[in-house]
Amino acid sequence: MAKRLSGRLIVVSNRLPYYKDADSAGKPTWKRSPGGLVTALEPIIREINGLWVGWDGVFLKHDHSAKSEIRSASHLGIPGTRKDYKLLPISLTRKEIEKYYSQFSNNTLWGLFHYFFEKSSIDYSSWEIYKKVNEKFALSISKVAGEKDYIWINDFHLLLCPFFLRRINPKYKIHFYLHIPFPHVDIFSTLPWGRELLDSLACCDSLGFQHPQYMKNYQGVVQELGAGRKPDRLSGKPAEDTKPFTYVNPISIDFDKFDKTSRKVRVKKRKKELIKQNNYLKMILGVDRLDYSKGIKQKLLGIEKLLDTCPELAGEFCFYQLAIPSRESVAAYRSLKKDIDELVGRINGKFSTGTWHPIQYMYTSVPFDELIAFYSAADIALITPLRDGMNLVCKEFVASHSDNDGVLVLSRFAGASMDLKNSLAVNPYSIEDICKALREALAMPGAERKRKMERMRENVRTNDINVWFDKILSVFEYTEKEGESHV
C-alpha cells in the first residue's frame, strides 16, 4: 500500500501502540495501549513497516532535551506477528504527563471537543506544558524526518505539533487526522487558545475528519475566526493566512480479521460456553472505554427503565457491560467509575432474584479472541455514546456476526451512525428512547434481524480500514501534486 508513497510514513500519536509497564510479578513488560486509535492503526503500520512516534509510558526523572533513537518493535520485545515496525519513543516527566495529558488533553480538550462544557476546565499552567510537550515531539521528529517523509499526526493531544514542525522546516509534509469530533464555533471560541490551535492547523498540508459535521464545524470556525496563519520562514512568527486541504474519511476496522476470528473453532466453542453460562437468555452487550462520553450511565438507566416498565422481561435477558479502565489519573474518570459501580449495585439490588442478575459488569480489558466470542454471543449490542468521533465497537460487533444475526442499538451521536443506517438509532439523552429501542430489539423477528445485519456487514466490509487508509494515501499524493503545481 505505502509503496505508492515517495517517502517514509511517520505516524505520530500521544502514545506508542505499546507502553512499558510491569507484570503482576513486577517484571518489566510491554502492554498494548487501550483505545480505538491503536486498534485501527497498528495493523496498518505493522503491514507497511512504518515508523511510529509516541510516549512510551516511561516517566523521566529529570527533564532533558528530546532524545531520538529509533528502535524496532521486535527488537524491543513487543509482541506481534512476523511483520515488524519501528518506534521512536518519547519519554516525558510525571509533571508533563499530568499537565499535558491528564489535564489539558483529557480534561480541557476532550471535554470541550465532545460538547461537555462543564467537564472542561481552563488551566493556564497546563496550556504552557501542552505547548512544551508538543514542541518536544516536533524536535524529536525533526531529528529523524526528511523532507520526503510524510509526517502524519494523529489526534487532539498534538494539535500544536504542526506549528512547531513547520517552524523547524517549512518544507516538511505535514498531515493531521482528528479522531474525535470538532466542535461548533460557539463552543470552540470559548477556548482561550483557539487562535493558536488554528494557526497550527494552518501549518498542515491536509486535515482529515471522521464526519461531515465535524469538517463543517471546523470550516464554520475558520469562517468566523479566520483561517490560521503559517509561521514566517525567517522569524518563525505567524505570517501567511492559509487553509489546509480538508476532507472527511470515516475510520473503520479490519473487517476480515473480526470475521475470520469469529469463525475459529476455539472462538465458536467459547461463544457456546458464554451462551450456556448466560442460561440461554438473550444477551445484551456493551463494550467501552470507561469514559463519560460513552453514555454508560445512560444505558444502565435504560436497562432499569426497561425492567420498571416491562416487569415480564425480568429473567429473560442479561446485560453484560465490559469496560476497559481508562484515564484513571483524571478526577472525572475516577468519579464516573464510582457512579457506575453504585448504579450497577443499585439496579442489581433492585431486580435480582436468587438465580438471576440483570447486569454483569466487568471492569477489565479482555483478550482479543474473548472479545470476539462476546460480540458473537451477544444478541444485541447497546452502544450509546453522548458524542463519539466514530466508535469502532459497533463496527467490531457487526463484523464478528458471521452468523448474520444480531441487533445494533446505536446512538445518533456516534460518527458511525452515518454509515450504519440499519441499526436502531437512539438519542442517548432520552432514557425513554433507549428503553423503547431495547424493547424493539428484544422483540425483532429473525428475518428482520438478518436483513438489517446483512446490510450493515456489507457496509463495514466494503468500507474497511484498508479503504480508509487508501484514501489517506490518496490525500497525501493529491496535496503533494497541488503543492508542486503552486511552486
Q: Is residue 109 part of the contact set for ligand ADQ (CB under 6 A)?
A: no
Smaller CB separation from ligand ADQ, 100 or 209: 209
Q: Is residue 371 part of the contact set for ligand ADQ (CB under 6 A)?
A: yes
Exposure string over 285-300, b if 16+ CB within 10 A, otherwise e? bbbbbbbbbbbbbbbb
Q: Is residue 43 part of the contact set for ligand ADQ (CB under 6 A)?
A: no
Stretch that binds ligand ADQ, among 71-79, 159-167, 322-330, 434-442 (CB under 6 A): 322-330
Which residue in the set 135, 149, 396, 464 belongs to the binding site for ligand ADQ (CB under 6 A)? 396
Closest by CA position to 90, among listed 6, 158, 41, 22: 158
Q: Is residue 119 part of the contact set for ligand ADQ (CB under 6 A)?
A: no
Q: Is residue 392 part of the contact set for ligand ADQ (CB under 6 A)?
A: yes
Which residue's entry shows cell 437468555? 281
Quote the DSSP letter at residue 311: G
CA diameter of the chain: 76
Q: Rounded distance, CA 425 to CA 85, Å? A: 39
Q: Are 55 and 89 in contact (CB under 8 A)?
A: yes
Q: Where are the alpha helices (DSSP H) in 48-96?
A: 73-76, 94-96
Minimum CB separation from ligand ADQ for residue 391, in Å? 5
Quote the DSSP letter at residue 351: H
Smaller CB separation from ligand ADQ, 172 or 361: 361
Which residue in the set 37, 97, 377, 431 belongs to the binding site for ligand ADQ (CB under 6 A)? 37
Residue 310 CB: number of other CB atoms within 10 A? 14
Quote the DSSP letter at residue 414: B
Q: Give me the torsion for CA of 205, 211, 212, 213, rounded to 10°.
A: -110
Minimum CB separation from ligand ADQ for residue 395, in Å? 8
Q: Is residue 251 part of the contact set for ligand ADQ (CB under 6 A)?
A: yes
Q: Is residue 254 part of the contact set for ligand ADQ (CB under 6 A)?
A: no
Which residue in the set 11, 48, 187, 287 belongs to the binding site for ligand ADQ (CB under 6 A)? 287
Stretch that binds ligand ADQ, among 29-37, 95-103, 136-144, 303-311 (CB under 6 A): 29-37
Which residue in the set 131, 289, 452, 457 belongs to the binding site for ligand ADQ (CB under 6 A)? 289
Contact pattern for ligand ADQ over residues 323 through 342, marking x by CB under 6 A: xx------------------
Q: Rounded distance, CA 94 to CA 291, Å? A: 22
Stretch that binds ligand ADQ, among 20-28, 223-231, 330-338, 365-373 (CB under 6 A): 365-373
Which residue in the set 365, 402, 427, 466 belongs to the binding site for ligand ADQ (CB under 6 A)? 365
Contact pattern for ligand ADQ over residues 138 through 177, marking x by CB under 6 A: ----------------------------------------
Q: Rounded distance, CA 136 to CA 65, Å? A: 8
Closest by CA position to 288, among listed 35, 116, 37, 110: 35
Q: Is residue 419 part of the contact set for ligand ADQ (CB under 6 A)?
A: no
Stretch that binds ligand ADQ, among 73-81, 122-130, 318-326, 467-475 (CB under 6 A): 318-326
Stretch that binds ligand ADQ, among 18-26, 130-138, 391-399, 452-460 (CB under 6 A): 391-399
Count residues near ligand ADQ (CB under 6 A): 25
Residue 282 has φ and ψ, to the nearest 5°, of -65, 135
Smaller CB separation from ligand ADQ, 145 or 296: 296
Give the relative orientation of helices 265-277 and 368-377 as an angle to the nearest 10 degrees: 60
Q: Rounded distance, CA 323 to CA 383, Å? A: 12
> β-strand 282-289 against 317-324: which pairing, if any?
parallel
Smaller CB separation from ligand ADQ, 145 or 322: 322
Residue 232 has φ and ψ, to the nearest 5°, of -65, 140
Q: Are 398 and 408 in contact (CB under 8 A)?
A: yes
Q: Is residue 393 part of the contact set for ligand ADQ (CB under 6 A)?
A: yes
Q: Rounded distance, CA 163 to CA 477, Å? A: 22
Residues of this chain that bind ligand ADQ (CB under 6 A): 34-37, 39-40, 179-180, 251, 287-289, 322-324, 365-366, 371, 388-393, 396
